[in-house]
């Protein structure tokens, strides 16, 4: 297993598109084991960005936290060459694609027990990454991922997310290593 501690230069760059009060991801240790990329993360949400305090992590914050975790893991994977499907990408390619071209195709989740949004942990895993050319159209990358969140009091939430990286090869030398 190979582990990469929080990249203190990369993390703020990944979170740059977020409003200051919506930067929830505090740290992320990315690991690679048997070709599978995952991360262990720490989060803190001082106050909700859109609603009065509910007293627990809610679905909107779960999604925002997932996005931040996923964006960081993909950026770190590109930087370190962890996923062959992104071997032709540079970090500049990643920054260009981060917001417009990384889409959530399907998002599912289950809340098991309320989670304290002020301090909670998260896990992220990429299960499969495939390059596809649907119906002879433009090639894209599909990734099946999962996440889970928990806190010190036994709170728990988990789910699965399918990602689509569209325009994944625009301006990128396809087949380059």
Q: How far apart are CA 90 and CA 105, in angstroms?
A: 24
Whether the pLDDT of residue 175 is over 60: the answer is no
Q: How far apart are CA 121 and CA 42, in angstroms?
A: 5
Q: Which CATH architecture has domain 2-165?
A: Roll (3.10)
At 135, the pLDDT band (50, 70, 90 cuts) reads confident
Q: How far apart are CA 29 and CA 138, in angstroms?
A: 33
13-61 pLDDT, tens digit each: 999 999 999 999 999 999 999 999 999 999 999 888 777 777 789 999 9
At 172, the pLDDT band (50, 70, 90 cuts) reads low
The pLDDT assigned to 55 comes to: 78
The pLDDT assigned to 108 comes to: 97
Better-scored residue on pLDDT, 168 or 27: 27
Among 175, 97, 85, which residue's Cα sits nearest to residue 130?
85
Q: How far apart are CA 175 and CA 85, in angstroms?
A: 10
The pLDDT assigned to 143 comes to: 98
Whether the pLDDT of residue 177 is over 60: the answer is no
pTM, two decimals, is 0.93
pLDDT average, residue stretch 112-137: 93
DSSP classification of residue 157? E
Please name the residues in contact with 26: beta carbons below 8 A apart, sequence gap of 6 or more: 41, 42, 43, 44
62-108 pLDDT, tens digit each: 999 999 999 999 999 999 999 999 999 999 999 999 999 999 999 99
């Amino acid at each position: 297993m190979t582990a990469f501690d929080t990249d203190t230069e990369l993390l703020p760059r990944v979170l740059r598109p977020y409003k200051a009060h919506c930067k929830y991801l505090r740290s992320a240790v990315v690991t690679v084991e048997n070709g599978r990329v995952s991360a262990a993360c720490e989060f803190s949400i001082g106050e909700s960005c859109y609603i009065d305090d509910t007293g627990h992590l809610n679905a909107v914050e779960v999604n925002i936290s997932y996005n931040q975790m996923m964006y960081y893991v993909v950026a770190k994977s590109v930087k370190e060459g962890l996923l062959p499907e992104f071997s032709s990408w540079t970090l500049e390619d990643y920054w260009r694609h981060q917001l417009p071209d990384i889409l959530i195709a399907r998002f599912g989740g289950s809340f098991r027990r309320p989670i304290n949004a002020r301090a909670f942990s998260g896990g992220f895993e990429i299960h499969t990454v495939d390059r596809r050319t649907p119906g002879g159209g433009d090639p894209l990358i599909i990734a099946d991922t999962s996440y889970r969140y928990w806190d010190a009091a036994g709170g728990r939430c988990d789910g699965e997310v399918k990602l689509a990286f569209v325009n994944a090869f625009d301006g990128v030398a396809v087949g380059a290593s």
